[in-house]
C-alpha cells in the first residue's frame, strides 16, 4: 500500500491529510520541547496508521486488518484515555469496542505520554470527523492551509504561508533522506 493512499471513510481530502502530516513532521523536527515533539509524533503516527504505512494502532498496538472506521473509532477512544491520563474508564473503552464490534485493547500507558495521546486523539477524530473527537472532529490538530475542491491552496496570506512552510519541510526531508543514503 503506497503512502498517500487513504481509505474512503477518511473525511478530509488527501491533500489536507498530507498537509497535516508534513506540518506534524516539521513540528517534531523543529522542536526541542518533549511535549511538542510527542504531540507531533502522535499526529504523524495516527496518519501513518490510517494510511497503512504502519500496521500497529498508535494508542494500543492493535493489529487487526483490514483497518476499518470502527477500529479507528476504538483507537481514538483509547487515545482519549491516554490524553486524559486514564480518566476515560476501561468500562467506557470496552463499551465503545462492544458498540463498534471490535476487540478491546488496553491503551499503552507505559510507552506513550499524555501528549502522544493528545496528538493521536485529535488526528484520529479529525480523520473520521467523529463527533466525540476534539472539537467535534471538525478541526485539524494543527493549522493547515485552506484548499479548494481541486486541492489548490486558497489565495489568502495565511494559507500561502502554510503552503510555503510545507514545501520547506518537504525539501528539508528530501535533503535529509539524500544525506542518509550517501
The pLDDT mean for the chain works out to 94
**87 within 8 A of 38, measured Cβ to Cβ:** no
Q: What is the pTM of this model?
A: 0.93
**150 within 8 A of 136, measured Cβ to Cβ:** no
Q: DSSP character for 56?
A: S
pLDDT in tens, 94-141: 999 999 999 999 999 999 999 999 999 999 999 999 999 889 999 999
Distance CA 97, CA 128 (A): 16
C-alpha cell at 23: 506540518
Amino acid at each position: 500500500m503506497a503512502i498517500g493512499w487513504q481509505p474512503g471513510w477518511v473525511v478530509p481530502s488527501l491533500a489536507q491529510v498530507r498537509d497535516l502530516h508534513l506540518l506534524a513532521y516539521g513540528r517534531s523536527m523543529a522542536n526541542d520541547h518533549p511535549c511538542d515533539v510527542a504531540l507531533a509524533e502522535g499526529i504523524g503516527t495516527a496518519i501513518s496508521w490510517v494510511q497503512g504505512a504502519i500496521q500497529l494502532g498508535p494508542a494500543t498496538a492493535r493489529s487487526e486488518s483490514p483497518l476499518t472506521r470502527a477500529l479507528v473509532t476504538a483507537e481514538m477512544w483509547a487515545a482519549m484515555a491516554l490524553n486524559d491520563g486514564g480518566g476515560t474508564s476501561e468500562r467506557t473503552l470496552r463499551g465503545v469496542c462492544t458498540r463498534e464490534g471490535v476487540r478491546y485493547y488496553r491503551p499503552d500507558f507505559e510507552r506513550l505520554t499524555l501528549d502522544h495521546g493528545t496528538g493521536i486523539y485529535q488526528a484520529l477524530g479529525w480523520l473520521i470527523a467523529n463527533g466525540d473527537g476534539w472539537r467535534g472532529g471538525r478541526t485539524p490538530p494543527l493549522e493547515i492551509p485552506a484548499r479548494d475542491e481541486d486541492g489548490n491552496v486558497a489565495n489568502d496570506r495565511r494559507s500561502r504561508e502554510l503552503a510555503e512552510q510545507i514545501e520547506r519541510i518537504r525539501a528539508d526531508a528530501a535533503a535529509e533522506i539524500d544525506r542518509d543514503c550517501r
